[in-house]
Structure 1
Amino acid sequence: MQLGIGTYTFGWAVGTPGNRPDHPLDELGLLNRATALGFSLVQIGDNLPLHTLSTEQLCAFEQQAQQQGIRLEVGARGLTETNLDQYINLAAGLKSRLLRFVIDSSAYEPTLDTVIGILKNAVPSLKKAKITLGLENHDRLLAREFAHIVEQVGSEHLGICLDSVNSMGAGEGLAEVVQTLAPYTVNLHLKDFGIRRLSHLMGFQIDGRPAGQGLLNIPWLVEQVATRSRCQTAILEQWVVPESTLPASIDKEENWVTDSINYLINSNLFTR
């Protein structure tokens, strides 16, 4: 399985709503980071929306990726017919064979039937462009509902982008999610996590950890997904616990990247 980095590897450096660095990491900067770290796979998530880039910027991005020998994967949020069509075209233009999609966006939470209808209509376009769409398990729908969507659409061009933490927001544990979604997984988001009891003892908090330093059993997860043979790529993602200032959070993120990559490469589970 090929390991890569993405915009959610560097969430603080790219920027979050209300937390934008003076000089955010952009698409070209991410390519340079990948090369410096020895990676040839980069996934662009919805935190750096490609549809906001100009034609010239997209061309420069695609050309630089080719020059640096980097394979691109495209991601988006908000599964409407218009948005999906737009991102299929963007993915095709960037020679991305994977299009990762989060169904929901702000004030948009479609029904399962609506999602199934949109995806069925998109299958011919996905097939023509030779693109596989990976629905990311997010925190509104249950794993069995994601499986239902994939089964109802019934196309080899649709699968699951399996995130190791998101479904906890829907009250589901990792073992349950993996058992349900591993057979459909076409892309893996490796995001380690920790759970700690709060000081007042009234509840727990889930947050991120560097890969290999949290509760995620990464060798087990990769084994469960790899046996189905559909998943060829994995992306390191991070929920870096913020510091008191954004520059300090970005510095911490860099340290986590180093620690995470060292663990993942030394695990001998991945190629670069």
Structure 2
Amino acid sequence: MQLGISTYTFGWAVGDPGNHCPPKPIDELTLLSRAEQLGVRLVQFGDNLPLHELSVGRLAALKQETGQRGIQLEVGARGLTDEHLSRYIELSVYLKSRLLRFVIDKGAYKPAIDAVIGILKNAVPSLEKMGITLGIENHDRLLAGEFAEIMERVGSLQIGICLDSVNSMGAGEGLADVVNTLAPYTVNLHLKDFGIRRLPHLMGFQIDGRPAGQGMLNIPWLVQQINPYGRCRTAILEQWVVPEPDLTDTITKEAAWAEESITYLKNSELFCF
């Protein structure tokens, strides 16, 4: 399983125009440089740096730089519609991305399961023709069993699950049950370590991020559950970095967490890079 980083490794530094945005967000070429600095050759682009919004020139420069640097790209998007999926299949072909990661929902757009299945079935011929694997990320609206139902009803090896280690907690599901249900379909893994702590007033818990290997995520166990099915080829470090009062300090902390996390993951000998 090849180890890589993504735009969500550096979510604070990339920014989110609807929530937070640093004065100088890192761009796509800076992300490639970060990968080189960390000693990995795989970069996944998420919906926080939407590739379809880049100019033709920036896309061409990204393609050229990845070739020159020997970095493999994985493309990602949010908002599963026929049109948007088709657009990103084309981008995947252009950027030589073998895996396309998609989040189903976007804002108020929350399609029913039958609609999702129809969209995915429509895309199977193109995915097969282009040799692209589509990974649907488990997010917190649908339960793991519903994602499994989608996979079974679509019935294509070109479509699987991008398994995030934390997202399904938002649907009230524990990691062990989620992995047990979705491991057979997993084609991409999001390594996102986390901690759970009781709040000082004792009226509840808080879930937030930790550097890889310093939280509650048993990464060796997770990889052990997924490997036997032979479908997952890549693992991507994502981070929920607990913010500091100042955004600049948060971005500095995020970079330090990324370095600590990649060092831990490399030393685990679970991944190639």
Tell me the TM-score range normalised by the shorter chain: over 0.9
Give the TM-score taking structure 2 as reference length.
Answer: 0.99
| Per-residue deviation, residues 73-110 of structure 1 (Å, max 9, x unmatched) | 00000001111111111111100010000000011000
| Per-residue deviation, residues 1-49 of structure 1 (Å, max 9, x unmatched) | 1100000000001012331111111111001111121111000000000
Q: Which residue in 2 is equivalent to 1:116?
A: 117
2:90 alignment partner AA: N
Q: Which residue in 2 is equivalent to 1:95?
A: 96
Q: Which residue in 1 is equivalent to 2:84?
A: 83
Which consecutive aligned stretches of 4+ in structure 1 deviate over 6 angstroms post-superposition? none
Any unmatched runs of 5+ in structure 2?
none
Q: Which residue in 2 is equivalent to 1:45?
A: 46
Task: Look up the SS of the partner of 1:125 in the other structure.
Answer: helix
Q: CA–CA distance in 1 between the matches of 2:254 and 2:138?
A: 24
Q: Which residue in 2 is equivalent to 1:147?
A: 148
Task: Look up the SS of the partner of 1:223 in the other structure.
Answer: helix
Matches within 5 A, 1:88-237: 88-237=89-238
Q: CA–CA distance in 2 between the matches of 1:100 and 1:145?
A: 18
Q: CA–CA distance in 2 between the matches of 1:101 and 1:111?
A: 16
| Per-residue deviation, residues 226-248 of structure 1 (Å, max 9, x unmatched) | 11110010000000000001101
| Per-residue deviation, residues 139-176 of structure 1 (Å, max 9, x unmatched) | 00000100110110111100000000000000000000
Q: Which residue in 1 is equivalent to 2:254?
A: 253
Q: CA–CA distance in 2 between the matches of 1:220 and 1:18?
A: 34
Q: CA–CA distance in 2 between the matches of 1:40 and 1:79?
A: 28
Q: CA–CA distance in 1 between the matches of 2:100 and 2:19?
A: 27
1:10 matches 2:10: yes
CA drift of 1:254 comes to: 1.0
Matches within 5 A, 1:258-269: 258-269=259-270
| Per-residue deviation, residues 164-206 of structure 1 (Å, max 9, x unmatched) | 0000000000000000000000000000000000111110000
Task: Look up the SS of the partner of 2:59 in the other structure.
Answer: helix
2:15 alignment partner AA: G
Q: CA–CA distance in 2 between the matches of 1:44 and 1:65?
A: 13
What root-mean-square deviation, in Å, do the aligned CA atoms of Structure 1 and Structure 2 show? 0.6
1:223 alignment partner AA: Q
Give the TM-score taking structure 1 as reference length.
Answer: 0.99
Q: CA–CA distance in 1 between the matches of 2:152 and 2:95?
A: 28
Task: Look up the SS of the partner of 1:227 in the other structure.
Answer: helix
Q: CA–CA distance in 1 between the matches of 2:22 and 2:68?
A: 28
Residue identity over aligned pairs, in percent, reads: 70
Q: CA–CA distance in 2 between the matches of 1:242 and 1:64?
A: 32
Q: CA–CA distance in 2 between the matches of 1:154 and 1:122?
A: 12
2:13 alignment partner AA: A
1:151 alignment partner AA: E
Q: CA–CA distance in 2 between the matches of 1:141 and 1:19?
A: 26
1:4 alignment partner AA: G
Task: Look up the SS of the partner of 1:133 in the other structure.
Answer: strand
1:74 alignment partner AA: V
Task: Look up the SS of the partner of 2:229 in the other structure.
Answer: coil
Count how many residue pairs are aligned between Structure 1 and Structure 2. Answer: 272
